[in-house]
Amino acid sequence: MFDLAIVRGFVYRSGDFFRENVYIKGGKIAAVTSEVLEAREVYSADGLWVLPGFIDPHVHFSLRVGKWTSVDDFFSGSVSAAFGGITTFIDFIDPVKSVAEMEEAFKRRLEEAKSSVVDYAFHATIASPTDAPGDIASKAKELGMASIKLFTTYSSSNRRTYDDYIEELLRLSSEMEFVVVVHAENDEIIKKMEGKNVPPKDHSRARPTIAELSEVLKLAAMAKYHKGQLYIVHISSGITAKEIWERYGDILGLHLITESCPHYFWLDESVYSREDGKLFLMTPPLRSLDEVETLRDYFDAIVTIGTDHCSFMRKEKMEGNFTHGIPQGIGGVEFSFSLMYTLFGPGVIDKFTKNVAKVYGLYPKKGVIEVGSDADLVVFDPDERWFVQSHHSRSDYDVYEGLELHGRVITTLSKGRFVVKNGEFVGEKGWGSFLEREAIRWL
């Protein structure tokens, strides 16, 4: 006898849809078949899609940055995520310099994350590291964080990691089995404006596309040379995606993984000139309409979609006059899949599921509907048209408000348990668990 059956849906497996029933036992997928088997509880997904739970590789809940803390904690953030079909997310520990600091930062984050309603993992974050790359990598892996995030910029706030260090990490990444996760902007180009009085309307000019492009190409060259494991977060511009496709297409998916976020596909820099333009401030900035179009054209050059969810209150965003006095980041964890599905259709599914699971050492536990995998499932209505009107984040605004989207998450299950059922939250605080990732090997 199975615990639960999700019946009559179109089940997404190996890139196709099959009219099958999914049977769950002990939180795992126990059978996927067109046969009708006995189960204690039956949920009808008649005519709807049954997808693997989505994985958001990039969120910032309770992020402490300067005098601010992002408003969604692990509870509200994970609830909002679950409404968007996200059953696993990867957050970050606070930036550390040393092995000793990493241990502390990890414990602190683990405590904060306990309230999550879905599963989660962490990236280790380093800033101006003082311990050797190999020691940092060993410790991160031991703590179950085989992905190490760093910044190539922010030297003005002492958070930059320099090329010699990054190069060494990339050299070690394949043999030691970890991923180098990089926020890539050229510090030399940016720093003349950083900390200066940049009004929101000049945000994109102060952190220009060329700063991203030049840094990404340099890192890609290092990753190719060392056959490393390089993951570039939040690619903001179409030109960067295009250049990667044309120059480094041969290592894409092998030694280089690219991530972008829904806002770079939906919004352009013209919003920064609006009276409420501050509400749209994030780093890297939104780009020109031309670049948004190019990014859409080169969607194939993007392997995963993360939200970089980092929400603040309207008042916090509107208070300062210049970009350095305004907390950077927007929400969006709840709408990411529908936003991308509206633009690209079912081709987005793998970028939210299998691709992310493989890149970050979660496959086949997550990201796929197969016997033995966790029963993390999304029931999705591909035909519903709806308007973004309300959300479950603690923030009091949403940059996507009023947009008409296609396709909607109806029900979300985490480890065989309903978290959102027919649009209602039925989850449990603390249901989520920490996912250890001790080694990641792409090839």
Calculate the CA 432 to chain-centre distance. 17
* Residue in the shown chain whose Cβ atom is closest to Zn ion: 308
The conformation of residue 2, written as its DSSP 8-state character, comes to: E
DSSP track, 404-443: EEEEEEEEEEETTEEEEETTEE---TT---B--B------
Within a 10 A sphere around the Cβ of 152, how many other Cβ atoms? 24
* Residues lying near Zn ion in the complex (CB under 5 A): 308
* Residue 2 or 120 with smaller CB distance to Zn ion: 120
* Residue 176 or 339 with smaller CB distance to Zn ion: 339
* Residue 56 or 101 with smaller CB distance to Zn ion: 56
Q: How far is the CB of 1 from Zn ion (least distance, A)?
A: 44
The conformation of residue 15, written as its DSSP 8-state character, comes to: T
Q: For residue 119, which amino acid is it?
A: D
Q: How far is the CB of 187 from Zn ion (least distance, A)?
A: 17
* Residue 51 or 399 with smaller CB distance to Zn ion: 399
How far apart (Å, rounded) are the C-alpha atoms in residues 393 and 385?
21
| Contact (Cβ atoms closer than 8 angstroms) between residue 377 and residue 413 | yes
Token reading at 198? 């940049």
How far apart (Å, rounded) are the C-alpha atoms in residues 174 and 223?
10
* Residue 268 or 308 with smaller CB distance to Zn ion: 308
Token reading at 79? 């609830």
Residue 221 has, within 13 A of its CA and on its CB side, a CA count of 7
DSSP track, 143-169: TTB-EEEEES--GGGT-B--HHHHHHH
Q: How far is the CB of 403 from Zn ion (least distance, A)?
A: 22
Contacts of 345 (CB under 8 A, 6+ apart): none
Q: How far is the CB of 350 from Zn ion (least distance, A)?
A: 22
Token reading at 401? 């408000």
* Residue 101 or 308 with smaller CB distance to Zn ion: 308
Q: How far is the CB of 308 from Zn ion (least distance, A)?
A: 4
* Residue 9 or 285 with smaller CB distance to Zn ion: 285
Q: How far is the CB of 211 from Zn ion (least distance, A)?
A: 16
* Residue 65 or 189 with smaller CB distance to Zn ion: 65
Q: How far is the CB of 289 from Zn ion (least distance, A)?
A: 24
Q: How far is the CB of 124 from Zn ion (least distance, A)?
A: 14
* Residue 308 or 376 with smaller CB distance to Zn ion: 308
* Residue 70 or 173 with smaller CB distance to Zn ion: 70
* Residue 61 or 178 with smaller CB distance to Zn ion: 61
Nearest in space to 79 (alpha carbons), one of 116, 32, 24, 53: 116
How far apart (Å, rounded) are the C-alpha atoms in residues 340 and 306?
11
Q: How far is the CB of 283 from Zn ion (least distance, A)?
A: 8
Q: How far is the CB of 417 from Zn ion (least distance, A)?
A: 29
Q: How far is the CB of 264 from Zn ion (least distance, A)?
A: 13
Calculate the CA 33 to chain-centre distance. 31
Q: Which residues of 40-54 are buried (b: 16+ CB within 10 A; e: fewer)?
A: eeebebeebbbbbbb
Q: Beta strand pairing status for 2-13 and 49-52?
A: parallel
Residue 407, Cβ density class (10 Å: 0-12 exposed, 13-18 middle, ≥19 buried): buried
| Contact (Cβ atoms closer than 8 angstroms) between residue 269 and residue 292 | no
Calculate the CA 12 to chain-centre distance. 21
| Contact (Cβ atoms closer than 8 angstroms) between residue 86 and residue 125 | no
